Copies of this chain bind each other. A is one copy, B any other.
Amino acid sequence: VRISELSRRTGVTIPTLKYYLREGLLPPGRRTARNQAEYTQEHVQRLRLIRILADIGGMKLRDIKPLLDAVEDDTVPVHQLLGMASYALGPAPSDEDRTPEVIRARAEVDRFLRSRGWRVTADAPGRRTLARALATLRLLGRDADIGVLEPYAQVAEALAPQEVATVDRTQSRDEAVEQVVIGTVVFEAALVALRRLAQEHQSALRFSRPGG
């Protein structure tokens, strides 16, 4: 289809489409005349992925570009591609990670993950999140032994196989990345909500009995 029809189908304005083409976020269409190109279902799919990365994943275009480059590059293995998608969700490194409390907590987190035998890279953003969380607890005067993470690590381990299994049933690399972002962000929100609801239920059982 021509660019006007691509715009109509996807709801993305023509100036934005031209911007994406210029920045290499969208592969060029097949040139059919001096000033005209044909776009395909692949372009529709790519625009959907860009929207999901931006709206659901909260990513900036500068983080989306290298991810889409990896989607296009078939020499990047699927595991690495999915890791890139997950890492792009953050958190990015920040000054907070260089405070003494976070540095100390980070070393404990690294040991904790090693002791569980988890195969995660040294720059996985989750390590930062955990180190910051532990440091926060300690700055608030709670003696947070690394062992407080144990029950959470166990449920994460229990969930992961079925969660990751949903990814490799997908077809294209575009779709696999989409699945990782949606699966991570949307089900994370659901998990967090269910945790709060289960706590409310438990609190009701515990505190609201007569005389409780």
Which positions in A face B, CB cutoff 8 Å?
Answer: 52, 56, 77-79, 82-83, 86, 89, 113, 118-121, 124-127, 129-130, 132-134, 136-137, 140, 142, 148-149, 151-153, 155-165, 167-168, 182, 184, 186-208, 212
Q: Is the CB of A201 within 8 A of B119?
A: yes
**Contacting residues, chain B, for A136 (C-beta < 8 A):** 56, 186
Q: Is the CB of A197 within 8 A of B155?
A: no
Given A140-B52, A195-B188: A163 and B206 interface contact (C-beta under 8 Å): no
**Nearest CB to that of A133 among chain B residues?**
B190
Cβ contact of A208, chosen from B79, B132, B148, cutoff 8 A: B79
Q: How far is the CA of A82 from the CA of B202 in the complex (A)?
A: 12
Q: How far is the CA of A62 from the CA of B118 in the complex (A)?
A: 44
Cβ contact of A124, chosen from B140, B161, B197, B205, cutoff 8 A: B197
- Determine how many copies of this chain the complex contains: 2
Q: Is the CB of A203 within 8 A of B126?
A: no
Most chain B CB within a 10 A radius of its CB, from A127, A132, A160, A193: A193
Q: Is the CB of B133 within 8 A of A193?
A: yes
**Contacting residues, chain B, for A186 (C-beta < 8 A):** 133, 136-137
**Nearest CB to that of A207 among chain B residues?**
B79
Q: How far is the CA of A184 from the CA of B196 in the complex (A)?
A: 7
Q: How far is the CA of A155 from the CA of B56 in the complex (A)?
A: 24
